[in-house]
Amino acid sequence: MSFRQEHELHKRRFGRNLGLGVILVGLVALVFGLTVVKVSNDDFSVETQVSGGQN
């Protein structure tokens, strides 16, 4: 019993889907990496406002 040969259209579609998948995974990795760097940055500090008598 032999399987039917895959059509050329399916091979092209698979190639495009694979390329799009790689691009999407790269974008997710980039956003995740930027988030990790921003959260783990120790130099980040919130400035506190001093309520004083000067206006």
Q: Which amino acid type is present at position 6? A: E
pLDDT of 4 reads 82
Give the least confident one: 1-5, 19-23, 32-36: 1-5
- Predicted TM-score (pTM) above 0.85: no
Q: Is residue 47 classed as helix, strand or coil in its secondary structure?
A: coil
